[in-house]
Amino acid sequence: MQRKSFGNMSCPIARSLERVGEWWSMLILRDALAGLTRFEQFRESLGIAPGMLTRRLDALVAAGLLERRRYSAHPPRDEYQLTDRGHDFRSVLVAMLAWGNRHFAPEGASVIIVDAATGAPADPILVDRLSRRPLVAPDYRLAPGPAASQGMHRRLSSGRRSRLLAEGRGTRAARKRAARVAGDSP
C-alpha cells in the first residue's frame, strides 16, 4: 500500500507532516539541535540502519531542514547542518517533550527543561511572539489566511477548528503562571 502524500494539502499541519512526520526525522532533528552533525553520530545515537538514515537525511535536506556540507574529499564525507527552517523546529520538539512528560512518562520525566540560573523546572506554553500572551481561546482563534480555499473558509467559519486553541487541563495553570511572571496578576 502506497503512502498518501500530504505535501499538496492546504492544511499547514498536513504539509508539515509531509516533511517531518516520519518518526526518525523528528529524532534526527532532535539530535541535530543537540549538536550532532555527522552520519555516524546520528547512527550511533539512534541505532538506525544506515539505509534508513540515508533516506531520512536526504528527505530532511530536500525539505530544507538540513543542509549537507562536505567536510572530507578523500574519502568523501558530509556533515548535516540545521538551516533556519530546521532551527525553527525546536519549539515543536520542546512542546513534544513537555507533552510527552505530562502524558507518557508514568515512571517520571527522564528529561526536563530547567531555568539555567536557578535550576527551577520550566513548564513551556505556546505564546504569541509579539504580545507574549498564551495562544488560547477565547483570546485567539483560527482564521483563513490569504491562500485559504473556499473549503478552508467554510471549515473555519463553522467554529470547529477553533477548538484547536481551546485550553486544555494544563494550559490554565500555565497561563496563570505566565501572567504572574509578566506582572499581569497577583
pLDDT, average across residues 12-18: 80
What is residue 18's predicted lDDT score, i.e. its pLDDT? 79
pLDDT in tens, 120-136: 999 998 899 999 999 88
> Would you say the pTM of this structure is higher than 0.85?
no
**Mean pLDDT across 32-57:** 97
Mean predicted lDDT score pLDDT of the chain: 85
Integer Cα distance of 45 and 80 in angstroms: 15
Q: Which residues in 62-92 are b (16+ Cβ under 10 Å) and which e?
A: ebebbbeeeeeeeeeebbbebbeebeebeee
Cell of 180: 504572574
52 pLDDT more than 90: yes
Determine the 3-state secondary structure of 23 from DSSP.
helix
User: pLDDT digits over 166-178, tens only?
Assistant: 766 555 555 565 5
Summarised one tens digit per residue, pLDDT across range 133-159 is 998 888 888 888 998 888 888 888 866
Cβ–Cβ under 8 Å, residues 152 and 9 = no
User: Cβ of 106: how many Cβ atoms within 10 Å?
Assistant: 5
Residue 185 has pLDDT above 50, yes or no: no
**H helices present in 34-138, as ranges:** 39-46, 50-62, 84-88, 90-103
> How far is 111 from 105, CA to CA, in rounded Å?
10
Stretch among 13-17, 23-27, 114-118, 165-169 having the lowest mean pLDDT: 165-169
Domain annotation for the chain: domains and CATH numbers: 12-87 (1.10.10.10), 90-182 (no CATH)
